[in-house]
Amino acid sequence: MSQLAKFRLIGLLIAAVTFFIDQWVKVFVVDELGLDQIGENYPLLPFFDFTRANNYGVSLGMFEATSVEMRWILVGVTAAIALVVLVWMMREKLFGDIFALGLILGGAAGNIRDRALYGYVIDYADFHIGDFRPFLIFNIADAAITIGVVIILARALFMREKPEDEQDAVAE
C-alpha cells in the first residue's frame, strides 16, 4: 500500500472515530446523565457544564429548520457538503489536509445523523466563565468541524509551497 493510500485510510479512520466518539458522548449525556430535556444541566467543572440544547439550524443556529421539509433539505445540503469533503479528502495528497478533512467529515456525519433521526442536533458542551459564555452550546462534532476548518485555513495561509526553482536549489 502506498504512503498516500495509507494517509487516506487514516483520514477515513479519523472520520469514523470522530463520528463514533460524538455519538457515544451524545448517548452518554442523554441516557447516562439523564439530560433529555432542553436546559437540563450537569455541572462538571467550574467553567464547563453539560447543558442540553437542541439545535434546529446549522452553524450558530442559522438556517433553522422550521418544518419537516426544511429538516430534510438541511440533511440533503449537509450530506452533499460532506460528500464534497469526502471527495476532496480522497484527492488530497498532504497528510495535514487529510487529517483536517477527516475531522470535518466525521463531525458532519455525526450532526447529519442527529438531524436525520431527531430533526435537530444534540448539543451539550457549555463552556463559561461565570455567567459569561463565549460560545454557544456545542458538541464534539461541532468542535471537530471547527478544528478541521482552522487547520485547513492555517495550512492554506501559513504553509505555502516553495516554487519549483527554489525547491531545486535547496536540493542541490
Q: Do residues 53 and 37 make contact, with C-beta atoms less than 8 angstroms apart?
A: no
Q: Which of 97, 142, 165, 168 is catalytic?
A: 142
Q: Which of 97, 114, 123, 126 is catalytic?
A: 123
d(CA 99, CA 6): 12
Q: Do residues 170 and 162 make contact, with C-beta atoms less than 8 angstroms apart?
A: yes
H-helix segments, 120-162: 140-158
Residue 123 annotated in active site: yes
3-state secondary structure of 59: helix
d(CA 143, CA 105): 12
H-helix segments, the chain: 3-27, 68-91, 95-118, 140-158, 164-171
Query: What's the burial of 146, exposed, middle or buried (CB within 10 Å: 0-12/13-18/19+)?
Result: middle
Residue 114 annotated in active site: no
3-state secondary structure of 17: helix
3-state secondary structure of 36: coil
Active site residues: 123, 142
